[in-house]
């Protein structure tokens, strides 16, 4: 039975999962959820994702929500195909710990700030609400500090967990691209090591395939 991805074509969390599916060469059926129509809040959806959010997957009856959890599940279940090493081998405790360190940094040091910018400068504007520039400034200030640290890390190694690409790197793409949409791409471009790393992620076929929207592959 083909894995089913219930998601919104351009939501950041949905894109995160779709990219991992492409990296691992996993065929999937895409079932679009209309967020504007609040389909994610309807009973048939909340039975699968009780938080009324996207995405979730149905893998032959196994239902899972939360995009980072889904990405890990896919990377582990399909470890033997597609891009190798998105999660280090479980027997290499040190490599696994470095991966967990990088994954924690993505969430706590990058997305938490980038998401505030995207919400204020993109989502609220689309809905006709004013941007809270104080919130944006605070998030920019925090990102400047965090990305200076990234610049140092990426000056010593190709990826955040070491020499190999992992989910921790890929997970930066959805909100990283939102910074450019918000007119703040210089946060990345002004740092040579960060820019080189991020542009290498954007060039991956898995992202090129989905960046304009998710479609079924099966």
pLDDT digits (tens, 9 = 90+) for 36-93: 999 999 999 999 999 999 999 999 999 999 999 999 999 999 999 999 999 999 999 9
Cα diameter, the chain: 51
Q: Report DSSP state, residue 56.
A: E
Please give the model's pTM, rounded to 2 decimal places.
Answer: 0.95
Please check whether residue 117 is in contact with residue 102, taking contact to mean a CB–CB distance below 8 angstroms.
no
List for the chain the helix, strand, coil content (%; round to 5). 55, 10, 35
pLDDT of amino acid 59? 98
Please check whether residue 74 is in contact with residue 22, taking contact to mean a CB–CB distance below 8 angstroms.
no
SS3 151: helix
pLDDT of amino acid 42? 96
pLDDT of amino acid 50? 97
The CB density around residue 106, as the number of other CB atoms within 10 Å, is 21
Peptide bond into 55 cis (omega under 30): yes
Stretches where the chain sits below pLDDT 70 are none
pLDDT of amino acid 150? 98
- Cα separation, 36 vs 33, in Å, equals 9
pLDDT of amino acid 31? 98
pLDDT of amino acid 142? 98
Strand-pair category, 3-7 with 56-59: antiparallel
pLDDT of amino acid 213? 94
């Amino acid at each position: 039975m083909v894995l089913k991805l219930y998601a919104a074509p351009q939501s950041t969390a949905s894109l995160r999962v779709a990219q991992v599916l492409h990296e691992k060469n996993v065929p999937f059926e895409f079932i679009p959820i209309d967020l504007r129509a609040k389909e994610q809040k309807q009973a048939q959806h909340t039975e699968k994702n009780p938080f009324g959010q996207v995405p979730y997957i149905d893998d032959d009856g196994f239902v899972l929500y939360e995009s980072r959890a889904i990405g890990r599940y896919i990377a582990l279940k399909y470890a033997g195909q597609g891009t190798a090493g998105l999660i280090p081998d479980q027997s290499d405790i040190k490599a696994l710990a470095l991966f967990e360190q990088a994954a924690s940094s993505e969430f706590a040091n990058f997305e938490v700030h980038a998401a505030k910018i995207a919400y204020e400068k993109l989502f609220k504007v689309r809905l006709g609400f004013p941007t809270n520039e104080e919130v944006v400034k605070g998030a920019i200030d925090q990102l400047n500090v965090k990305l200076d640290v990234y610049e140092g890390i990426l000056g010593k190694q190709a990826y955040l967990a070491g020499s190999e690409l992992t989910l921790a790197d890929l997970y930066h793409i959805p909100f990283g691209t939102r910074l450019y949409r918000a007119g703040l791409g210089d946060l990345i471009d002004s740092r040579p090591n960060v820019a080189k790393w991020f542009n290498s992620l954007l060039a991956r076929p898995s992202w090129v395939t989905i960046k304009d929207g998710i479609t079924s592959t099966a």
